[in-house]
Amino acid sequence: MYLSFELYGSMGGVLSRAEFCRCLVVAEAQVDAATFGRVRRDFFEVGDADELAYIGKLRVLVFELVGICLLTGGRQVVGESSDGLSLTFANEKSGEFALRRSGLIADMLRGAVDLSGVPLLYVGVTTPALRATPPREGN
């Protein structure tokens, strides 16, 4: 879990535990997709998440993503009336929502690296090179 309910509350979060858990699943899935699972792998490799250099940025990012989920059911708010009774949502069909979420993730995790020294947002291959299979005799 990238952000505990207790820490979420101490950061000013107002969701009930049930709402938080539902939104946390969405937020963690967004982080995992953007980082190709590098954050989740790092969490399993260290015993204490506080040892991760990027943990502060990650917790703020997840807090923000949970908030977006709460307000919009997963849709991004792009405008609000002064009386607070009217919200304008990003047009998901145009990709506006994805761009805003991606921008938030990129801003918060830019420059952060995983335990192997690979940038969290690196989109290339980071697995060890596959060994070439020797040709079979007679082929």
Query: From the centroid of its chain, how far is CA 52?
Result: 15
The kind and range of the H/E element at 32 are helix 17-35
pLDDT digits 0-9 by tens, 93-124? 545 556 677 788 889 999 999 998 889 988 87
**Cα dist. 81→75, 87, 97 in Å?**
17, 7, 19
pLDDT digits 0-9 by tens, 60-88? 999 988 877 766 555 555 666 666 666 66
CA distance 46 to 30: 21
Is pLDDT larger for residue 46 or for residue 88?
Answer: 46
